[in-house]
Amino acid sequence: MTGLSAALVALACAALIAPGPISARSRVRRLRSPGPATTTSRPRRRDRPRRDPWQEAGAWDELASCLRAGLSLDRAVRAVATSLPGPVADALTGVADLLALGADPADAWEPALEEPATARLARAARRSARSGAAVADVATTVAADVRAEAAEAVSARAERAGVLVAGPLGLCFLPAFLALGIAPVVIGLATPLLERT
């Protein structure tokens, strides 16, 4: 058996026994049959789609632009709802429906309070309804806050990656430092001492 074929056999064995949500037998079954194999997968940690703060900030800017252009609040909220994912869109559609029916704005924003992505805007819009402030300004402020939080989160992840990279680099460079830096010095000092005895 040549070195290349041994490496390929080892790689195939590693692929079959690699840890993951699918067992090795189901991987083999999947290789044999062209149809979908029955797999046992781990339960998902998240059933909800991943939250995209940049998309949210863009939607709140879109809401502010629609309101500044003269669109009514219910139509502007409905226009923004089409650009957002599932539960967020459902919450905003509920708000738009209640506003179109003439509900009190404080009550109309109630469905949006239950969704984490729209809760901040809903609280600000309810305050705006009581104080008379423009909802467009509130939406612009919320968009700026969401962008600032997203930028901070990205910066924190980048700093964390720098810290996590230091460990493997240290493990790679430490043996080389010992072999090339420390060992020759120790051997150089030990040789004359060992020759005397």
What's the pLDDT at 147? 93
pTM score, whole prediction: 0.59
3-class SS string, the chain:
CCHHHHHHHHHHHHHHHCCCCCCHHHHHHHHHCCCCCCCCCCCCCCCCCCCCHHHHHHHHHHHHHHHHCCCCHHHHHHHHHCCCCHHHHHHHHHHHHHHHCCCCHHHHCHHHHCCHHHHHHHHHHHHHHHHCCCHHHHHHHHHHHHHHHHHHHHHHHHHHHHHHHHHHHHHHHHHHHHHHHHHHHHHHHHHHHHHHC
The residue that leads in pLDDT, 37 or 4, is 4
For the segment 142-178, what is each residue's pLDDT rounded down to a tens digit?
899 999 999 999 999 999 988 888 888 888 888 888 8
Check residue 37 and give its pLDDT: 46
Q: What is the structure's pLDDT at 193? A: 85
- Choose between 73 and 37: higher pLDDT: 73
Looking at every residue in the chain, the average pLDDT score rounds to 80
